[in-house]
Structure formats: C-alpha cells, structure tokens
Amino acid sequence: MAKKRAKTSKDEPLEFRNTQLADALQTQDMAALAFALRHGPTVVPLLRPGQRDNPLDSGEVWTFRDPNTGQIALLLFSDAVNKPPALPPAVALQSPGWLKAFLGTHGDEITTVFFDIAGPHPMQASPADLLAALDL
C-alpha cells in the first residue's frame, strides 16, 4: 500500500506518520508512547478535510460513537496507512499542542483513545492519562 503524502508549501513531501509513535506501539511502552506524543505529530481521521488555504480550519475530527452504549472513542494513528479503509478517507497530521487542546476540550466526552486500532500494534489509553503524558 502506498504512503499517503501531501505537499508542503515548499513542495516537500509531507509523510502522514510518526515513526516514534509506531515504535512505541510496537513495544507497547507507555513511557515511549508519551514521549512520541509530546515530540511528534499524530495522524487524525477527519469527517471533512480542512480548507487548504486556511490554516485555522483543520477539518472536523471523526470520532466513533458506540451505537449500543453511546460512548465516544477517539481513534489516532501512527501512520495513515494504518487507518482502516472503512473510516472517512481524509486525515490530518496534528501537533502535540493540538492533541493536548483537543483532549482538554473534549476529554470529558471521550471514553477512550485508541491508537492504530486495526493494528499492527493497537493500544488504548484514557484521555486523562494522555493529557498527563502531554504535560510531562
């Protein structure tokens, strides 16, 4: 499967992945996961893509609502190729600051955060644990 790429304003390819996050998930190491989230981007599925020429419009984040319980999960990925094809096709590469702000705003609504839910090395954490990791 080909890597998903976008062009930056300097026409350099932008890879939608975080190698440190993938390594942390492979070892299931929570400390490494926290480090990767603090120092690198996260691939976030979008319900709708943001406007290319408007940096303040980063799109609308897609979350999963369990139809039986109503609980909401945030799905994050170490690499865009790990996102299941059944999810909306758009993704964003979001910074640690964005993740902290998003969890700070929506953390009470989100029950759990899944990383690479379809593999190859899935992991999950609570929004509170991730906020604490981002504050270190």
Instruction: Report the predicted TM-score, pTM, of the whole model to 2 decimal places.
Output: 0.84
Could you report the per-residue pLDDT of 10-37, keeping only the tens digit for each? 555 568 999 999 999 999 999 999 999 9
Identify the architecture of domain 14-49+59-135 in CATH: 3-Layer(aba) Sandwich (3.40)
Q: Domain residues of the chain, as ranges?
A: 14-49+59-135
Tell me the C-alpha to C-alpha distance, in Å, between residue 105 and each of 33, 36, 72, 79: 21, 21, 14, 24
Could you report the per-residue pLDDT of 55-111, keeping only the tens digit for each? 555 678 999 999 999 999 999 999 999 999 999 999 999 999 999 999 999 999 999
Q: Tell me the pairing of strands 110-115 and 72-76.
A: parallel
Reference 115, options 88, 80, 78; nearest CA is 78
